[in-house]
Amino acid sequence: MASGPILYPSVTSLPAAGGGAPARTKPEGKAGEFDKALDQAMKSPSKLEEKPGELSAARAGLKFSAHASQRLKERKITLDQPTMAKVNDAVDKAEAKGVQDTLVLTGDAALIVNVPNRTVVTAMDRGSMSGNVFTNIDGAVVV
């Protein structure tokens, strides 16, 4: 049996008596870049771009797919703040009932929403709703 050098791991400190890793401390007055950015983000309010009377999708808790965004634009469908609040509440109700994909009917539009992802998948204006069959939904909410 050949005898070679024995390698020992480099140990710089031992865990505290409590069993966990020793707490890391920073010298006073020496905040890192991350700490500065975090403090600044926590102090300043988010600056979401919103038009007066409209609620952004992020603030409403809903996202819009590229397809839905395109349909809203093409069909000139606008969703104001009160309508978005109602749609958000409708999605909450659908979620409480275990719905996966819901049809949300507003006064001016029909929205298909994937409930678990809280994503509007497509949109249709009131004039286009007549005679259409809505498929791949397992619930509907009228607001």
Write the pLDDT tens digit of every residue in 94-106: 999 999 999 999 9
Of residues 122, 111, 107, 137, the one with CA closest to residue 70: 122
Rounded distance between C-alpha atoms, residue 62 and residue 114, angstroms: 10
Using 50, 70 and 90 to split pLDDT, how confident is the model at 58? very low
Domain boundaries, the chain: 57-142
Q: What is the pTM of this model?
A: 0.59
Lowest-pLDDT choice from 27-41, 85-99, 114-128: 27-41
CATH code assigned to 57-142: 3.30.2310
The DSSP symbol for 37 reads H
Tell me the Cα Rg of the chain: 27
* CB-CB neighbours of 20 under 10 Å: 8
The DSSP symbol for 4 reads -
pLDDT of residue 91 exceeding 90, the answer is yes
